[in-house]
Amino acid sequence: MNTGVSRLTLDLAGASDTDADELQALGEQLRRALLELDVEDVRLARPGTAAPEGAKPGEALAVGALVVTTAPLLVRQVLQLVDTWLRNRPLRSVKVELDGASIELGHASAEDQRRLIDAFVEAKTRQAGTSPSGE
């Protein structure tokens, strides 16, 4: 098992009045913010389904979904950035998946979100057999 890299999938869930273009623009905003961290890469996610017939390569992108590749010790920072970024956006939530486990960041209180992130990171580091880092 390669513990040197973590891949997080971020799935943005728009508010009821958020259209696909707005969701795509929000995904790009989040992508740029994440690239300011010392992550390896942030890409638009490809959906799990096959591309529509006749679609060119690169057209089959999931709207509002990103894949972040980073060192495991930056996972907490990625989650904290997503939580902070989400606060003033027209989104219901951002679902984050890492190694089959997921966490949904939404509009809970800052303290509740911090506890949720801490519990998620601690559970993942215990599962990986590493010690939590960051603070």
Instruction: Say if residue 114 is exposed, middle or buried (CB neighbours under 10 Å; 0-12, 13-18, 19+).
Output: middle
Residue pLDDT, tens place only, 46-87 = 765 333 344 344 434 567 899 999 999 999 999 999 999 998
Which pLDDT belongs to residue 6?
Answer: 93
Q: What percent of the chain has pLDDT over 90?
A: 58
Residue pLDDT, tens place only, 7-52 = 999 999 988 888 889 999 999 999 999 999 999 999 988 765 333 3
